[in-house]
Structure 1
Amino acid sequence: MASRFTNLQTDLLRTFVTVVDLRNFTETGAALGRTQPAISLQIKRLEKMTETKLLSYKGKKIELTQDGQTLLGYAREILRLNDRAAASLKRARLSGTLRIGLPIDYSIEYFQHIIAQFTQANPQMLIDVQCDRSRDLLTSLHTDNLDMVIAITDMMPAPHVSLYWAERPVWACGRDYRIDPDRPIKLIAHPEGCFYRKRMLDSLNIEGREWHIAFESPGISALQHAVLDGLGVTALTKKTLLPGMRTLHPKEGFPKLANIHVGLFYKHIKMSDAALNLIEQITIGVDAFQKTTRASLRV
């Protein structure tokens, strides 16, 4: 009697994930110590095992099929658990340098706390944290100037994403701020290219509301203080609302804003034991983080 279980071999999954990350069979072979034909054969073996097409090819360009995209998330998780288990059994000493990117256009205090705890538990690790706009962080990841990144993107699933979640921004202003219906809405926003900014402008333009950018800054702290100082209204996640702020609702002329998508991004082939350890802690944290997020999305 044939088994109803299909055991996905980790070496095949590792090859698959590395091809997706590097988008090149030759580079994957070099990274894994195999020839390009061997990499191609492993992908074919995995496709035969899963009875589906995982990759498509347009000239030299490698793309994921829909089934490939489905497998990719599971494959990253299987490899992360496999490699963390192996490192734990070997009691690997965590050392080296880990370069982390955190977004200035999102609530990062939660993740800073996780990173701080990790640093205290592993004092031999050198942690370099870079705070920047999400799109610039993702560029740095693609060019290997960062090892892992938490960032906002409109593309989900996206290249190198390990896990992701959605949050709905809310309109916010100072507690005593009053909206003048006969004047353009004064907006407090990140510079052009920000996802919050786009959602605010799209929402107001659909409603035919006039607006004016009254305050602009790349940092979320500056926007928060501008709101408290009564310079206008902005879009924030519920976790970044501060005492002294109030939310604005559709009955006041501020329609619901579209979700933003936040992800944890990394290239598995380049991850050290230390990086995988931290990724595990962030993953656990995000699970708790999402419980409150899911509740807010149902509102």
Structure 2
Amino acid sequence: MMRKFTNLQTDLLRTFVTVVDLRNYTETGNILGRTQPAISLQIKRLEEVVGAKLLKHEGKQVELTPDGQTLLGYAREMLRLNDRAVANLQQAAFLGTLRIGLPVDYSIEYFQSAIAKFSHENPAVLLDIRCYRSRELLAALHVDDLDMTIAITDEMPAPHVSIYWSERPVWVCARDHKIDPDQPLKVIAHPDGCFYRKRMIDALDTEGRDWRVSFESLGVAALQKAVLDGMGVTALTKKTLLPGMRVLSASDGFPKLSKIHIGLFYKHIKMSDAALKLIEQITEDVSSFRLPTHARAR
């Protein structure tokens, strides 16, 4: 017996994603040029097609159901492919300015290189690249001060995430660094609000171990140098380890750290042709960069 396939219409998916991004039916209608009742009917139609409740109302807020969360990642990807196909067929010019966020607390060098490659291949696109902590980058995206960002967050899936993956930081020190068990552990860290710092402190506090911050900096390069200079221990991902560093494990008295979650975030309704092309390139590049624990937003 031939399998019956269900087709998801892109106009219904676009309405769904826009409602999720804006959390408001009326604003979605204004953006898409439809009335609020028409938006409600489209969401109802999509729910009928997939056979599941996708959105729920909590007071004035629109929230995703578990089934809605599952569909969201696929919907973003389908719309991205649709819009890129149309742009290519129409030979759209990749013009304009892209405001991109990169986190200082992750492998910024890799993504900076990917974006530089895009810039060389698309000289007509102006790039505005900002490097901050992940919290500030996500806040800037929320108020439309950024078009897209790579960022770390505590939980996944998260609002506006397109793709994401997880990595477990490791404890590191200089190769010949000696740790005095009778003294508080010297910790090298980003300032308060950093996900790495929180994981280190939570792990040490759980173990009941004394510690103090001996070196603090926003930039990962400064932390790496402080480690190599023997100023203490820190947490890094394996991609940011440097020659001369030693990984510390449970046998050294260092508990396993919780994973961090990294994602590519953007609001689909704000995407220009240039942004869609860069997102496509980053999505392809990430497949060779991420760990096998990658998951698509659901």
TM (norm. structure 1) is 0.96
The yes-or-no answer on 1:294 pairing with 2:292 is: yes
TM alignment of 1:232-271, pairs within 5 A: 232-271=232-271
Q: Which residue of 1 aligns with 2:7?
A: 7
Aligned residues: CA RMSD: 1.4
Corresponding residue SS for 2:292: helix
Whole-angstrom distance in 1 between the partners of 2:67 and 2:288: 28
Whole-angstrom distance in 2 between the partners of 1:56 and 1:23: 11
Number of paired residues? Answer: 294
Could you tell me which amino acid in structure 2 is paired with residue 150 of structure 1?
A: I
Whole-angstrom distance in 2 between the partners of 1:91 and 1:256: 51
Residues 225, 86 of structure 1: alpha-carbon distance in 2 compared, 3 angstrom cutoff: same
Unaligned runs of 5+ in 1: none
Could you tell me which amino acid in structure 1 is paired with residue 31 of structure 2?
A: A
Q: Deviating runs (4+, > 4 A) in structure 1?
A: none
Corresponding residue SS for 1:294: coil
The yes-or-no answer on 1:81 pairing with 2:81 is: yes
Q: Percent identity?
A: 71
Q: Which residue of 1 aligns with 2:186?
A: 186
Q: Which residue of 2 aligns with 1:132?
A: 132
Whole-angstrom distance in 2 between the partners of 1:95 and 1:68: 34
Q: Which residue of 2 aligns with 1:225?
A: 225
Q: Which residue of 2 aligns with 1:213?
A: 213
Q: Which residue of 2 aligns with 1:22?
A: 22
Whole-angstrom distance in 2 between the partners of 1:43 and 1:102: 34
Query: Which is further off, 8-17 or 218-227?
Result: 218-227
TM alignment of 1:29-178, pairs within 5 A: 29-178=29-178
Corresponding residue SS for 1:151: strand
Corresponding residue SS for 1:114: helix
Could you tell me which amino acid in structure 1 is paired with residue 272 of structure 2?
A: S
Whole-angstrom distance in 2 between the partners of 1:107 and 1:171: 16
Whole-angstrom distance in 2 between the partners of 1:223 and 1:289: 22
Whole-angstrom distance in 2 between the partners of 1:206 and 1:225: 28
Cα displacement (A) at 1:294 = 2.7
Query: Which is further off, 238-247 or 125-134?
Result: 238-247
Whole-angstrom distance in 2 between the partners of 1:254 and 1:120: 44
The yes-or-no answer on 1:275 pairing with 2:260 is: no
